[in-house]
């Protein structure tokens, strides 16, 4: 905490120095959304390069002055929380002054900028993410406050803890981990008792694009158990994008890649080639939108696709067909096809990439 306080004090000192010299204070931020600032490493995923391009938030520029003020406001809130050892969610910060901040996304963006500028993980800033992910299966652990969580006993779903770093005594006999894109598929697999039928496993869903805590939990489970991790996503550009976030990270959070990515994650399904192999009827597939085409083209250009020839091939199949499919299309073969046939066969015969 002294490190965090010192980092914030240094920022404020620079602001005061500029004012004393009658200069306009400036906050310098790394350009988090610029691909030129990102390098791809097999072992880490997408990470920010040390000498990256920056942008300046100036107090004497009408466009950036409001952001400058909001950054100082949130820095002062963080400073007080670290001093008093209290925590707040990003939502709490937004609701402390909705008129000032304008929207939740403004707060989220500024917090990520501050975390990147100070080179301090968000958790150390005493800001908690709101968790939306779920976990189930063969896993038990103790939360920071001493609460014992046992997912193994039943088909109960547990919310991913809001302080993943604080959990301890992790125990599991799982043979693998399955990351499921959507909540509906996750619930369906739970109803079919998938976690116990084939062999014990841990199931996680970020319910779409994963929040920070879900990604941290996947990484923590990988570090602790070193078991294979598979993803089950829709066969569409959005599903591929979500899988890449778990595996390689995102551009905007590349400064925290070391804590968040698991490059050993495997793509289990739904593969574009599966649709042809399983003779899925064309009438249950969905035609691409312009947005889908744009998203797929951008994914195909990314640095990590070049070192994944099998993925490249699957994306080419998707691009050529201009059709996408949700995991639910497997119910057109039979209602329990996913848990009874598709997943057992894939896991048994190595049908992943």
Residues catalogued as catalytic = 95
Q: Residue 277's closest CA among 232, 335, 230, 341?
A: 341
Which two tokens mark 345? 């066969």
Extended strands (E) in 151-200? 158-159, 168-171, 176-180
DSSP reduced 3-state for 26 = strand
Pairing state between β 229-232 and 176-180 = parallel
DSSP annotation of 211 reads P
* Cβ neighbourhood burial of 348 (10 Å; 0-12, 13-18, 19+): exposed
Beta bridge partners of 234: none
Beta bridge partners of 226: none
Distance CA 177, CA 200 (A): 9
Longest dimension (CA), the chain: 74
Long-range contacts of residues 316-323, Cβ cutoff 8 Å, at least 24 apart: 317/272, 317/273, 317/276, 318/235, 318/236, 318/237, 318/272, 319/293, 321/272, 321/275, 321/285, 322/287, 322/288, 322/293, 323/275, 323/282, 323/285, 323/286, 323/287, 323/288
Distance CA 196, CA 63 (A): 56
Label residue 263 left, alpha or beta by phi (over 0 means left) and psi (-120 to 50 means alpha).
alpha
DSSP annotation of 145 reads T
DSSP annotation of 186 reads H
CB–CB of 29/37 below 8 Å?
no
Close Cβ partners of 105 (under 8 Å, ≥ 6 residues apart): none
């Amino acid at each position: 905490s002294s490190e965090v306080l010192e980092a914030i004090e240094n920022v404020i000192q620079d602001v005061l120095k500029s004012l004393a010299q009658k200069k306009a204070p400036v906050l310098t931020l790394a350009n988090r959304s610029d691909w030129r600032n990102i390098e791809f490493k097999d072992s880490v995923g997408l990470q920010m390069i040390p000498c990256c391009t920056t942008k300046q938030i100036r107090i004497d520029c009408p466009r950036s002055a409001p952001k400058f003020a909001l950054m100082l406001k949130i820095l002062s809130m963080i400073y007080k929380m670290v001093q008093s050892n209290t925590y707040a969610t990003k939502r709490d910060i937004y609701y402390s002054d909705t008129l000032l901040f304008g929207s939740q996304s403004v707060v989220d963006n500024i917090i990520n900028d501050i975390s990147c500028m100070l080179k301090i993980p968000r958790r150390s800033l005493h800001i908690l993410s709101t968790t939306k992910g779920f976990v189930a299966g063969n896993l038990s652990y103790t939360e920071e406050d001493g609460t014992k969580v046992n997912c193994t006993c039943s088909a109960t779903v547990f919310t991913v803890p809001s302080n993943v770093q604080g959990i301890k005594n992790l125990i599991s006999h799982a043979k693998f981990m399955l990351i499921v894109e959507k909540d509906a598929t996750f619930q369906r697999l739970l109803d079919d008792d998938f976690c116990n039928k084939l062999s014990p496993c841990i199931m996680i869903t970020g319910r779409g694009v994963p929040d920070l805590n879900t990604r941290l939990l996947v990484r923590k489970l990988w570090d602790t158990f070193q078991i294979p991790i598979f993803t089950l996503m829709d066969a569409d550009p959005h599903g591929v994008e979500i899988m890449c976030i778990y595996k390689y990270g995102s551009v905007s959070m590349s400064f925290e890649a070391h804590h968040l990515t698991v490059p050993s994650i495997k793509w289990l399904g739904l593969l574009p080639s599966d649709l042809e192999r399983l003779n899925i009827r064309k009438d249950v597939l969905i035609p691409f939108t312009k947005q889908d085409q744009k998203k797929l083209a951008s994914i195909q250009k990314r640095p990590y696709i070049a070192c994944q020839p099998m993925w490249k091939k699957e994306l080419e199949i998707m691009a050529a067909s201009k059709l996408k499919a949700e995991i639910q299309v497997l119910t057109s073969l039979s209602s329990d096809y996913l848990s009874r046939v598709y997943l057992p066969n894939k896991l048994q015969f190595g049908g992943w990439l």
